Amino acid sequence: MRRTRKTSGPGPRIAVVVLTRYDRPVELARALTSVQSQDISSQLVLVANGAYEPGFEQPDKLVMLHKNVGIPAGRNVGAEVADAPLIMFLDDDAELLDPQTLAEIVRRFDAHPGMGAMALHLIDEHGNTQRRHVPRLGDRTADKSGNVTYFVGAACVVRASAFNSVGRFDARFFYAMEESDLAWRLLDAGWSIWYAADLTAYHPRTTPTRHPGYARLTARNRLWMAWRSLPAPLLVAYLGVWTAAAIVRGAPVRDVVTGYRAGWRARPQRHPIKWSTVATMSLLGRPPIL
């Protein structure tokens, strides 16, 4: 159930999907302005995720959802109504920092037809990049571009044909791990993922624990992702490594166990990735157990 405001005429090369609950009006206005200030024409899609329209934004398409369907499902809805071969997902508290960013993204996707997704370089209010926002092991390579094995959803781009061909985000995830799950499926389908260290976007410094149920949802979603995509030997190793990591980082053991139980009861159908994909990920520095 949704209400959509549509535009007429052919769409531009890139659409930007912003998902919001209208709980950050100042940040949202800045995010939209950063898109509308780009040097290239783009289609701005605003998805109101279980919130009401305040009336001050002027997107090209406005989708009103009657309830909070979660991040991956909300992004899927935005991508569904977008009319462009490239789709950027931008958090409602993020901003594009250079007016030429979208034009450069289009140029790079045109030059590399095998690229299925791109991650932008996120910097916070102090000019730093959080470790969890670097799509490779460690944070010392935040300024180094290259092929990677996953991307961060706060400011990322997907090729619409690739995104649709692998089934989009898994809407059941609601929050956490949906980008990694999609990335594994893209890599297994033969697409590459590029981290563009020279294309920056602002995202405030945050901690994942600010979200209620973070540890539980992350554990559940990790199990779903691993069960669906990993060959049996790697499945066991992956869950062992990340269970230990979650506990060391302070996640409540009770929440982790609860998440695993919920994930096991509703686990998806298995479609293990190819061993050649495992080899590719390992060569890129992130074998699918880390």
Using CB atoms within 10 Å of the CB of residue 135, give its burial: 0 to 12 exposed, 13 to 18 middle, 19+ buried: buried
Least confident range from 6-15, 18-27, 28-37, 255-264: namely 6-15
Give me the chain's average pLDDT, please.
Answer: 93
CATH 3.90.550.10 fits 2-206, yes or no: yes
Q: Is the dihedral of CA 219, 248, 137, 88 positive or negative?
A: positive
**Bridge partners, residue 147, by sequence:** 194
Using CB atoms within 10 Å of the CB of residue 148, give its burial: 0 to 12 exposed, 13 to 18 middle, 19+ buried: buried
Nearest Cα neighbor of 139 from 156, 124, 154 is: 124
Tell me the pTM.
0.94
d(CA 200, CA 23): 24
Least confident range from 71-85, 128-142, 245-259: namely 128-142
**Bridge partners, residue 3, by sequence:** 64
Q: Hey, what are 288's tokens? A: 């699918």
**Bridge partners, residue 43, by sequence:** 15
Q: pLDDT digit string (tens) for 188-233?
A: 999 999 999 999 999 999 887 666 789 999 999 999 999 999 999 9
Number of C-beta neighbours around residue 202 at 10 A: 21
Domain boundaries, the chain: 2-206, 211-272
